[in-house]
Structure 1
Amino acid sequence: MTHSYDAVVVGGGHNGLVAALYLARAGWSVAVLERSAAVGGAIASGEVTLPGFVHDLYSTNQKLFLGSRAYADFADDLTHHGLRFRTGDHPYANVFPGGRSMRVHHDYAQTLGQLAEHNAEDAEGFAGLYEEYRTFSPYLFGLYGSAVPSAAAVRQVVSLLRHHGVRGAAELAHTLLMSTRELGEVWFATPEARAMAACWGMHLDFAPDIAGGAMFPLLELFADMENGMSVVEGGARHLPRALADVLTEYGGEVRTGVEVDRVVCRNGRAVGVRGTDGSTLTARRAVIANVGPAVLYQRLLEFERVPTQVRGEASHYRYGPGTLMLHLALDGPLPWAAGDELSRFAYVHVAPYVDDLARTYAESQAGLLPVEPLLIVGQTSAVDPTRAPAGRHVVWIQVRTMPSVVRGDAAGTIHGTDWPEVVDAMTDRVLNKLERYAPRGRARIARVTAYSPQDLETADPNLVGGDSISGSHHLAQNFVFRPMCGHHGYRTAIPGLYLTGAATWPGAGNNATSGRLAARRVLKDARRRVTH
């Protein structure tokens, strides 16, 4: 059976849904095909520990989507379909041995006061770096929301030069090209403050000594302070569900449980897709693939359709290290040694120090289970109390970084080289580490569920090797080089076929930017074909 549409989107992650939504609003007939039983990709939630405990399975902080242009464009529609957010005013903290901590509040004065109590030079450095953020963040966020390269991106650079000159632009470039270790050493005096900055780089794949790692911490340190941390009320799954509902309202179609195994081409152009069930959907104007470049060029396209050079480049697309996810149902808040107030923070980073982060990254890249992995402890029910029964809590722990393929254990105590063999022992290591900073916390755990890197890829094939960011963000694979050199701008090597998702600029994060910009590219190309 064949159905015909103006555009077909392969993959119902949030970027695929957003791209379809913009096309539908422009009057196009659009179908989104999703292999899983529900849309959302890495934005999902469920009761995976005990009944009544709703956990975000993968991503949890939806601040980027809440602040996105896509949300602004469709906020009323999304709210009408049940999408609501909860935002906490205690964004993040770091804990250290001896019951010490560093805390960043929504209240800047309170944050600066607590930093000054820790160390006057750290407070001075935080204030100075905040001034740099306030000066340059409008241009960074403007660039972040523009296609790269594009006239819009050039306008951001020209505006930067006009207002701050070559000296100001050079100052910004110098900061952005730093590693996170360098950023900390330039601006902060103590190991604790330096670790606070470096932890944000590990959310991506920026170990402390990788050039270009400073951009993400520069933005996250202060954007989270200014805006707080936001989660979807009742569970992350309500975000993609609302997008799908609004798309349907605009006349689009969403089909789940439909796996695409081929992009159909004719006369050198993408003209539709074929499902594993034999069904075919014709795309009169565009096919948009919300997948990684390797999947697109090596699996979804026939071998002879892809230029040899492109196939080779796609095979070298680099993925970052893996992630282990732990979901905890608790009988009470975590009893942090640094004080009860810590249980109110959306994120608590447990590193503890920069050298620990560097060692962890090196171990995971060598295929070893790390001795002291970074724990990003998301206290979801502190932000959204609807997630758990009264007096009880859900905690989300993203463990960074992990080997995608296990070759051994850096500590020499865990035996096995397959994730199903080692996941329980690695979970125990993580919980033991947590116990050192939240004594007696393990006694409050009613149930724990672990998702290994292998589990993450099984749930979402875009998370190759359990890479939660869908591809390395190192400089050689970022900006105009994302996903590959010469393949920016959401077009692919096949006319009529476009790419969206975290593998394209601006990369990981639930910002919806890639979906919006991909749709804009499709609409511009369609207008150009009409005029010619």
Structure 2
Amino acid sequence: MIGGGHNGLVTALYLARAGWSVAVLERNATVGGAIASGEVTLPGFIHDLYSTNQNLFLGSQTYADFGSDLSRHGLSFRTTDHPYANVFPDGSSVRVHSDYERTIGELAKHNPGDAEGFACLYQQYKQFAPYLFGLYGSAVPSSAAVRQVLSLLRHHGLRGARELTHTLLMSTRELGRTWFTTREARAMAACWGMHLDFGPDVTGGAMFPLLEMFADMENGMSVVEGGAQRLPQALAEVLAEHGGEVRTSAEVDRVLCSNGRAVGVRCADGNTLIARRAVIANVGPPALYQRLLEPDQVPAQMRRKSRGYLYGPGTMMLHLALDGPLRWAAGSELADFGYVHVAPYVDDLARTYTESQAGLLPVEPLLIVGQTSAVDPTRAPAGSHVVWIQIRTMPSVVRGDAAGTIRHTSWPEAVEPMTDRVLTKLEHYAPGSRARIVHATAYTPQDLESADPNLVGGDSVAGSHHLSQNFIFRPMSGHSGYRTAVPGLYLTGAATWPGAGNNATSGRLTARQVLNDLRLRGWASCSARCRWTAGPRPT
């Protein structure tokens, strides 16, 4: 297994449970990829460095299969029943609680039309969510995916399928206009699209908000107690119980092939690992077909397609150590919410998306303010807080500044004035926030890619999720599923269906694909050991 992100670890875990000898090779000193945590501001302040909301993993089939084992190795979650809110320049807010009646009541006070729209959209979510989540948990294309579609048709007919398809193909702007009355409620929906790479006017952007708005309402918002790093650590420890190995600081620079088939890997230090059954890579298609494989090992058409794999705009992360909670102008109780979105409105999101795509530092970036220690108080010393801010969307390469005030065009120079812009915006919505900051640490899009090469250009979702690169077109047209163009070589991770998110689905489905292929090839036993050659065994 190349790469120790959560999907790579999950693939390895399912294969080890099936009796395979599995080795996971991770370039970094620790496993986890974009699920990581650390004391990056001050000692005692534990920040989730990249992803923080772990609802998808908590609700995954992998957690259902291995949850008790993971718990034995220290994995636990803290959940808030105040999942998310939006705040606005006039001091108002829109809030979603796990208590549905309370949510509807507050929306009705804001605007009766918003409450009615939210309730009607929620009914559509409840009607169709079982089929959507079933589809997300199935390989695409597959007989399981077809069964989900047939079940939808059987229970809701063509009219229901047409209604759902119409909603899913909407942009987030269209979703808001269809269901909500005020620009505040419309912004609430559109912000969720920006978590991926769906600007307000991108077709198909409504799919993620439809699921996320209501799944987070029903389940609250969960973080890993003590830091996100405990999730991949627990996966690695359960893997070891099943006989699997994890080797860190072991960067793979070549997939080895023989007679047109993948047979092993070579590490940057010269060591090689020979695999009898399969090589699985938790990387993006460009890295696989352009870097890890020799040109003569890849069909020319596949190399050409991999060069066209699209990445979304970049992300900037800001980690704050505070001497107290944020004091939101919209009300002190907002300090209890897992996420607070600071947009403020749909038009601002659209400008931000366009500016970042043009290489410009945006004037009004979206701030996704994660109040981690409000959910998990163990993250900071008593009376103190950690705040996680994901800043969307950002240019991967800076060509200028939309506001015309930042003259720098390299991220190492632009990060300080951009951080000041973010903190100035936060100060407007949470007065006194600057005075509460004890220490701040910023990660640019370049820093994200350096930490995890799958986050190319700081794209936090490891590849665009637009319709041309989603569903049966993920990762590429003619290359859906988890097999690659090289026999014996498989691809897993966010570049494959169902894409980004800590749901572990890609890892689980990749393991299933590998096991099914080996059964079809007639391998009765897959327990033979991998062999290290051509150098000392890594420690």
1:480 and 2:472 are equivalent in the alignment:
yes
Distance of 2:283 and 2:242 partners within structure 1: 24
Alignment match, 1:240: 232
Q: How far does the alpha carbon of each residue in 1:32-78 deviate from its partner, in whole angstroms, 9 at most, with x for none?
A: 00000000000000000011000000000000000000010001110
Distance in 1 (CA, whole Å) between partners of 2:68 and 2:142 is: 30
Corresponding residue for 2:329?
Answer: 337
Aligned with residue 466 of structure 1, among 442, 458, 465: 458
* Counterpart residue type for residue 432 of structure 2: R
Aligned to 1:326: 318
The one-letter code matched in structure 1 to 2:463 is: G
Measure, in 2, the Cα distance between the counterparts of 1:27 and 1:487. 28
**Which residue of the partner structure matches residue 93 of structure 2?**
101
Q: Distance in 2 between matches of 1:413 and 1:175?
A: 40
1:117 partnered with 2:70: no
Structure 1 position 412 matched with structure 2 position 412: no
Which runs of 5 or more structure 2 residues have no equivalent in the other structure? Answer: 525-539
Residue by residue over 1:465-484, the C-alpha shift from the partner in whole angstroms, topping out at 9 and shown as x without a partner, is 00000000000000000000
User: Shift of residue 277 of structure 1?
Assistant: 0.9
The reply to whether residue 511 of structure 1 matches residue 503 of structure 2 is yes
Equivalent position SS for 1:414: coil
- Aligned-partner Cα distance in 1 for 2:128–2:69: 33
Look up the equivalent residue of 2:239 and give its one-letter code.
L
Partners of 1:275 and 1:397 lie apart in 2 by 35
| Equivalent residue number for residue 16 of structure 2 | 24
Determine the structure 2 residue equivalent to 1:33.
Answer: 25
Aligned runs of 1:334-413 on 2, under 5 Å?
334-413=326-405
Q: Partners of 2:496 and 2:183 in 1: how far apart? A: 35
Displacement of 1:279: 0.8
Q: State the distance in 2 between where 1:220 and 1:489 align.
A: 24
Q: How far apart in 2 are the matches of 1:37 and 1:68?
A: 27
Letter in 1 for 2:412: P
Q: How far did residue 531 of structure 1 move?
A: 7.2
Distance, in Å, in 1 between the alignment partners of 2:408 and 2:32 is: 33
Residue of structure 2 equivalent to 1:218: 210
Aligned twin of 1:4:
none
C-alpha displacement of 1:104? 0.1
Distance in 2, Cα, partners of 1:75 & 1:455: 32
- 1:92 alignment partner AA: Y
* 1:261 corresponds to 2:218: no
- Answering whether residue 140 of structure 2 is matched by residue 148 of structure 1, we say yes
Match of 1:132 among 124, 129, 137: 124
Q: For residue 437 of structure 1, what is the aligned residue in structure 2? A: 429
Q: CA deviation at 1:489?
A: 1.2
171, 174, 179: which one pairs with 2:166? 174
Cα distance change of structure 1 residues 517 and 472 upon mapping to structure 2, 3 Å threshold: same
Amino acid corresponding to residue 490 of structure 1 in structure 2? Y
Specify the SS of the correspondent of 1:326: strand
Letter in 2 for 1:520: R
Whole-angstrom CA distance in 1 between matches of 2:328 and 2:212: 23
Deviations along 1:422-447, whole A, 9 cap, x unmatched? 00000000000000000111100100
- Which amino acid letter does the alignment assign opposite residue 492 of structure 2? T
Alignment equivalent of 2:156, drawn from 155, 161, 164: 164
Aligned counterpart in structure 2 of residue 10 of structure 1, from 2, 5, 13: 2
Q: Which digits, 9 at most, give the CA deviation of each residue in 1:394-414, with x for residues without a partner?
A: 000000000000000000000
In the alignment, the residues of structure 1 paired with residue 427 and residue 349 of structure 2 have an alpha-carbon distance, to the nearest angstrom, of: 19
In 1: Cα distance, 2:125 partner to 2:152 partner: 13
The one-letter amino acid of 1:34's match is E
Percent of residue pairs identical: 79
Look up the match of 1:285: 277
Separation (CA, whole Å) in 2 of partners of 1:436 and 1:278:
54
The match for 1:296 is: 288
List per-residue Cα deviations over 1:101-159 (Å, max 9, x = no partner): 00000000000000000000000000000000000000000000000000000000000
Which amino acid is 1:412 matched to? G
CA distance in 2, matches of 1:403, 1:527: 46
Amino acid at match of 1:86: R
* Offset at residue 98 of structure 1 (A): 1.5
User: CA–CA distance in 2 between the matches of 1:366 and 1:76?
Assistant: 47
The one-letter amino acid paired with 1:384 is D
- Indicate the SS of the match to 1:530: coil
What letter matches 1:44 in structure 2? A
Partner-residue secondary structure (3-state), 2:275: strand
Match of 1:3 in 2: none
CA distance in 2, matches of 1:263, 1:48: 34
Q: Could you tell me how far apart the structure 2 residues matched to 1:415 and 1:325 are?
A: 21
Query: What is the CA deviation profile of residues 377-403 of structure 1, one whole-angstrom value per residue up to 9, with x for unaligned ones?
Result: 000000000000001100000000000
- Corresponding letter in the other structure for 2:512: R
SS at match of 1:222: helix
Q: Which amino acid aligns with 2:446?
A: Q
State the match for 2:267 in structure 1: 275
Superposed CA offset, 1:275-301 (max 9, x none): 111111111110000000000000000
The amino acid of 1:20's aligned partner reads: A
Selected match of 2:521 from 517, 523, 529: 529
The answer for the alignment partner of 2:178 in structure 1 is 186
Letter of the 1:43 counterpart: I
The runs of at least 4 aligned residues of structure 1 exceeding 4 Å deviation read none
Aligned counterparts of 2:272 and 2:72: Cα–Cα separation in 1: 33
Verify: 1:314 aligned to 2:318, yes or no: no
How many equivalent pairs are there? 524
- Alignment correspondent of 1:5: none
Which amino acid is 1:371 matched to? V
Question: What residue identity is the alignment partner of 1:347?
Answer: Y
Counterpart code for 2:311: Y
* C-alpha displacement of 1:416: 1.1
TM-score (norm 2): 0.97
Q: Distance in 2 between matches of 1:494 and 1:434?
A: 49
Q: Distance in 2 between matches of 1:28 and 1:11?
A: 18
Q: 1:306-328 deviations in whole A, cap 9, x for unaligned?
A: 11110010001000000000000
RMSD value, Cα? 0.7
